[in-house]
Amino acid sequence: TQLLEQSPQFLSIQEGENLTVYCNSSSVFSSLQWYRQEPGEGPVLLVTVVTGGEVKKLKRLTFQFGDARKDSSLHITAAQPGDKGLYLCAGEVGQGNLIFGKGTKLSVKP
């Protein structure tokens, strides 16, 4: 069974601080996607990483895919209260068949 371990599960930080969320697996994925989910809504795609070692930036968010395509990280610089939410990583194992991590619930205190 393929698993994606995501950590930390909860993160509460002050506005302006930096944070990193990790996503690890023993399996290789053809792509890894990061989503953000608000309560009562579906996951919304942030980024997809496909190539081992790839780094993508989305404003204050930096996403990295491990060289072996088994792990990924999300780094947020100078967190804002609007960054709050559940961050999910998902590894692709088939045509649109994604294995999701349990998520990291982020809260940012003003």
Partner 1 sequence: EPEVTQTPSHQVTQMGQEVILRCVPISNHLYFYWYRQILGQKVEFLVSFYNNEISEKSEIFDDQFSVERPDGSNFTLKIRSTKLEDSAMYFCARNTGAGANVLTFGAGSRLTVL
66 forms part of the interface with partner 1 (CB under 8 A): no
Interface pick for partner 1 out of 66, 85, 91, 101 (rule CB under 8 A): 101
Phi, psi of 107 (to 5 degrees): -125, 140
**Residue with tokens 């990924």, as numbered in its chain:** 72
Rg (CA), the chain: 13
DSSP label of 95: T
* Candidates 17-25, 39-47, 54-62, 63-71; binding stretch for partner 1 (CB under 8 A): 39-47
What sign results for the dihedral spanned by CA atoms 70, 86, 82, 8? negative
**19 is a site residue for partner 1 (CB under 8 A):** no
Which residue's CB is nearer to partner 1, number 15 or number 41? 41
Residues of this chain that bind partner 1 (CB under 8 A): 30-31, 33, 35, 40-45, 48, 50, 88, 90, 92, 94-103
